[in-house]
Amino acid sequence: MIIYYVLTTIIFVVTLPILMLYIKFTNQAQRLTWGYKKYYQCLWIHAASMGEVNGIRQLIARLRRAYPNREIVITTMTKTGRKVARELADAAYLAPLDLFPILLRGFRFLQPAAIIIAETEIWPGMITMAHKKGIPLVFINARISDSSLGSYQKLKPLLAPVFRHVHTVIAQSEKDQQRFISLGFRDVRHTGNLKFSVTQPLYRKEDMRKEMGFAQDDLVVVWGSSRPGEEQLALTTFDALKQRHPRLHLILVPRHLKRLPEIRTILNGHDVTYYSSYKPGAPIVVVDAMGVLQKLYALCDIAVVGGSFFDFGGHNPLEPAFYRCPIIMGPYHSSCRDSVEKLKQGNGIIIANTDTLQDEMQKLLVDSLLRNRIGNNAKNVLEAHASSVDDTTKILQNIIAESL
């Protein structure tokens, strides 16, 4: 990996003027480790975004209890992830760029006893530097998607030394475990998906509906984390079903708020209200704020999990499962494959496509008992696999004990 260090150093020096401009205009100085404070043998946890941070909340809480005198520092790739991480850790920063001069500064500031990476972000520089310094680096809740597997297999001759330098991989499933082993990772185990262990706020459905101005006999569909193409699908489906169910309401929660102008155009001509200036009465609500999806799942009658009706990999179906929501998801869910499979086995989810979505929603809208049964099944699946956080914590404690 000497070549990697040399190349990244050259890249850093050559692109420094452009990099400085980028950092200035995007307000991401922390990617250069500016603003980092000094720590000694902290636990360095890296979680890319808000979803990954939320997925390891319980694990972070366990580590805080196990190591009350050791600081926990979380790095993220996004500012929204950093905002959530600040509530859970002693400090949170944007992750350093995987360039040798910047990583060197990062390691000098944090001086970690161990590095814990949520899910799978393979940073060759970070992994190699941790190995050279004798710091155990562990992937937790790790997974490899179908598309990523093919890419890693092609790059295996180049990345094999990096893979061998990862201390331990704790995979989400047996299938993921076998994939990591096939790529040459050394110590690979599986404990289940940590997202099954997530505890969310205990919102009461009645209170949330009252707060939003919904009557108890209104039918509310929440489409969470919608992606391009899905807003039009949601609107077409809603318009058709609204004729049969006059008390039907649709709440659209886009995955990315920067798409709001596009979504406004799609909804042009419809009676729409926006969450930031919400007024009860409009049949369609568009959420133009972050961090409210869980609250909306808690009040809905049907949860449609987005990013799954077109090829975006899907989003986490376990959040609505926590609130006993009947879940509908599309056929594209490679990023949460294990969660979906377990929900399917427990009859806690309906998989539809663009052609069958309307019929599947109609079945749920006319049958409250069916909604309750699927929602309860989803919650039961969640509770049946909640031990993953205990098993993962035990493995991490053994690894950390070796490094202290």
Would you please indicate which residues are annotated as catalytic (active-site) residues?
52
What the block records as the tokens of 120 is 């799978």
Tell me which DSSP letter residue 329 carries. Answer: E
Q: Could you tell me which of 313, 305, 311 has the C-alpha nearest to residue 350? A: 305
Find all residues with CB under 8 Å of 16, minimum gap 6, and list them: none
Structural element, H or E, at residue 322: helix 318-322
How far apart (Å, rounded) are the C-alpha atoms in residues 226 and 292? 14
Residues, the chain: 404
What the block records as the tokens of 382 is 């969640």
How far apart (Å, rounded) are the C-alpha atoms in residues 29 and 34? 6
Strand order across the 284-286 sheet: 272-274, 284-286, 248-254, 219-226, 302-305, 327-329, 350-351
Look-up of token digits 């490899």? 144
Q: Could you tell me which of 106, 45, 55, 93 has the C-alpha nearest to residue 400? A: 45
The phi, psi pair for 218, rounded to 5°, reads -70, 150
Q: Hey, which residues does 72 pair with through a beta bridge?
A: 43
How far apart (Å, rounded) are the C-alpha atoms in residues 84 and 80? 7
Find all residues with CB under 8 Å of 279, minimum gap 6, and list them: 273
